[in-house]
Chain A
Amino acid sequence: MTQFIQQLLNGLTVGSLYALIAVGYTVVYGIVQLINFAHGEVFMIGAFGSLATWQVVCQKSTGLWVLPIMIVGGALCSVAIALVMERFAYRPLRNAPRLAPLITAIGISIALQRAIQLWYPGATSNVPYPSIDGVTGGSLTVGSVVIQRTTLFTLGVLVVSAAALYIFISRTRTGKAMVAVSQDPDTARLMGINVDRIIAAAFAMGAILAALAGVAQGLRDSNVSSTMGFLAGLKAFTAAVLGGIGNIQGAVAGGLVLGLIEAMATQYIPGQFGGNAWSDVYAFIVLILVLVFRPQGLFGARVVDRA
C-alpha cells in the first residue's frame, strides 16, 4: 500500500508538469488548429529564463523570496519567445496549408535548442538549477511515504494555475473572447473581437504555464538542459490528445493520467518488459487504446469543425 501511495504521488507530480505544458498545446490548438511543436522549447526557455533571473537579479540567493522573482523572470522570457514566435513565424502562415506552420514549429524548436546551447553559458550540457529554501531540501515522511517538498510545490502550482485558468476563461473578457474565437473566429471578428490579439493572448497564457512548469521541473530535478523541452513537449502533447485536444480540463486530466500510468508501470510491471525505461511504452499503449475506442479523447475534443 505504501508503494502504491508513493507511486501515486510520484505519478501526480510528473503528471502535473505534463498538465501545465499540455494546456499550452491545447489552448493554441483550440484557437488556431496549430500543433505548436515549439511549445516544449517555450517550457525550456521558461526554465532557463528563471535560472538567468536567479543568477543576475537575485544574486544567487537561496531565500524563499527569490522564487516569485524567478517565476516572473522565467514567465517574461517564455512569453516573449512565444509572442515573437506567433507574430513572426505563425501569423504570416495563418492561411497557408496546415503542414507549413507544423514544419515551421519543428524548425523553431530546433533553432531555440541550438540558440540556448550556443549562447547560454554552460548550456552545452546540463546546467545545475538552484535549491531554494523551503521548496527544495529535506523531504517529509508520513508513515513510510516520502513526500518531497518539490512534489508539494509542483502540485500546488498545478492547483493554483488550474483555478486561475478557470477564472480567466469563464470570468474575464479576454477569456470569454478566447472561447468565442475558438468556436468561430469569423463571427467573433464580426462581434468586434480583435482575433490577432486573442491568439497572441492564447500563446502568452500557454507560455506562462509552461514557465511555471519549467521552474517546478528545475527545482525538482536540480538541473535543466537545452533538450529538456523535447521529451516534455512530446509527453504534454500526448496528454493533450489523451484528454481531447482543444479541451483545457482534458489537457489537465490527460497529463495526470499519463504521469500515473508511467509511475504505476514502473512499479508493477515486472520482468524483461518492465522497469522505468518501458513505462513510456505503456503510456503510449494506453494512448492508442483510448484513441481507438474514443477518438475524441477522454474529455472530448472541443474543436468546431469549420471546413
Chain B
Amino acid sequence: MRSTLIKVGVPVVAGALALSACGSRSGGGSSSGSSDGGSGKVATIGVTAPFTGDLSAVGLGIENSVKLAVQQANAKKVIPGWTLKVDAEDDQGKPEVGTNAATKLAGDPTVVGVVGNLNSSVSTSTQPIFSRANIVQVSPANTGVALTNVGGKRPYATYFRTCTTDAIQGPFAAKYLISQGIKKVATINDQKTYGAGLTAAFEKEFKKEGGTITASQTITDAQTNYSSVISQIKPGAPKALYYGGEYPQAGPLSKQLAQGGLAIPVMGGDGIYDPKYIQLGGRAADLATSVGAPTDSTTAGKAFLAQYKAAKFNSEAGGYGAYAFDAANAIIEALKTSLKDAKTPKDARAATVKAMANVNITGVTGKVAFDKFGDTTNKVLTVYKVTGGAWVAAKTDTF
C-alpha cells in the first residue's frame, strides 16, 4: 500500500508543483517591501493580465510596458524616498484565476496600484476586490461599458481605464461601414462581456444609420470550427461580418468564412487588432477598430516603441502596450502626491485613489485624464485594415 501511495503521490505532487509554478510569474519583490531600507521605502505596482493562454501575446506586452514605465520612474527618482517594484500576476484571461491573482495583490501591503485586467469579463470580478482594499485599478484595455457606468452611476471609485469604451467603439465601426457603402451585415459574438457589449452597441448604431442586420449569431470561445454558423448566416447575403470577440477565434473565423464560400470582410474591435489575427487566418481587407491613434503614427508613440525595443523584452508591445504604459504612468503620477507624506504604502492607498481624479499628463496615447466615471477623456479611435499581411491604419477620427 505504501509503495502504491508513493507511486501515485509523486506524480500528483509534481503536477501540483508544476501548476503552482505557472500561477505566479514573479513572486519575489513583494516580501521585502515592508522593510525600511536606508535607500528608501518600497511600493509595488501590480500588473495582472493573461500571461499564458490564448491572449498571452497581448498580456506580456502589457506586463513589459508597465515594467518599462516603472524602470523609467525609478531611474528618474520621480518619487523621492521611494522605490517602485512590479508584481505581475497571471489572470489567464479567466475570471476565476483573475480573482485569485487580484486577491493576492490586494493582500500584499506594499501594493499601491494595479494595472489590469485585459478582459472586461475578468475586471468585473476583480473590481470589488481592489475596491475593498482601496487600491487603484487602471485597465489598459477594458472596453466594457458597465465597468464604469451602471445606469448612470459609477460602481467602483477605485477603477479607471486609459482606453475608450464599446459604447463608442461599436458605433464608430458602424458609421465606418455605412460610409463605405456596406448596408447589410451579419454579426457574431462570443457572449463574453466584451464581445456581446461591443456587438450590441454596433447593431444599435448600424440600424439607426439605416443598415440591416441579416443575422445575429453567437459562438463560444472554446469552439474551433464555425462551419455551421457560417452556413447559417450565408443565405442572408451579408456584405460584411461584424465579430464581437478576440483574435484567437476571429482569425480562424475569417479563414473559414472564405472556405465556407462567404468571402466577405470581417470587422471587429480592438480584440482582433493584433498581428496574430493575421497569422491565424485573418484575410486582406478585414477591418478592426482600436482605441487611440496608431502607436507608431505619433512622435510620442514612436519614442515609446523605441524605448520598449531598447529594453529588450521577450515579446512585442502589442495593441495595449502603450495604454499599459500610460496606465502605469497615471498611477505613478498619482503616487507623487499620495506617497509624499505616507509612512507605509498601505496608508497611501486612499490618497492615491483621490489623486487619480486630478491626473492630467501627456502620455503615449494622448492626454491621460479621467472623467467622473473613471473613463479616459481621450476619445480618439482608428479603423485598421489588413493590407499586405499587416494592420494598416485606414482612418483616425475623434468620436
Contact = CB atoms under 8 A, between A and B. Distances in A.
A217 B18 contact: no
A231 B223 contact: yes
B34 interface: no
Contacts of A223: 224, 251-252, 280-281
B19 interface: yes
B269 interface: no
Interface stretch (A103-111, A196-204, A245-253, A295-303): A103-111
Interface in B228-257: 228-229, 231-232, 234-235, 248, 251-252, 255-256
B255 A275 contact: no
Interface in A140-191: 141, 146, 148, 150
B22 interface: yes
Nearest to A126: B248
B261 A139 contact: yes
Contacts of A230: 222
Interface in A82-137: 88-89, 92-93, 96, 100, 104, 107-108, 110-111, 114, 117-118, 124-126, 128
B224 A217 contact: yes
B15 A111 contact: yes
Interface stretch (A56-64, A67-75, A276-284): A276-284
B279 A267 contact: no
B220 interface: yes
Interface stretch (A4-12, A20-28, A205-213, A285-293): A4-12
Given A267-B228, A276-B217, A277-B218, A125 B248 contact: yes
A225 interface: yes
Contacts of A242: none
Given A128-B280, A139-B260, A280-B220, A225 B54 contact: yes
A267 B19 contact: no
B8 A92 contact: yes
A104 B16 CA distance: 12
Chain A interface: which size bin? 35 or more
B367 interface: no
Nearest to A115: B18
The A contact surface, by secondary structure, is helix
Contacts of A126: 54, 248, 251-252, 276, 280
Interface in A234-283: 262-263, 266-267, 275-280
A277 B249 CA distance: 13
Contact of B232 (A13, A150, A267, A280): A267
A146 B260 contact: yes
Contacts of B52: 117, 124
Interface string B23-61: 000000000000000000000000000011111110000
A130 B22 CA distance: 29
Interface in A217-237: 217, 220-223, 225, 227-228, 230-231
A276 B15 contact: no
A42 interface: no
A117 B54 CA distance: 10
A3 interface: yes
A148 B151 CA distance: 47
A14 interface: yes
15 contacts: A7-B228, A10-B227, A11-B228, A93-B4, A110-B15, A110-B19, A124-B56, A126-B280, A217-B224, A223-B280, A266-B232, A276-B223, A276-B228, A276-B229, A278-B218
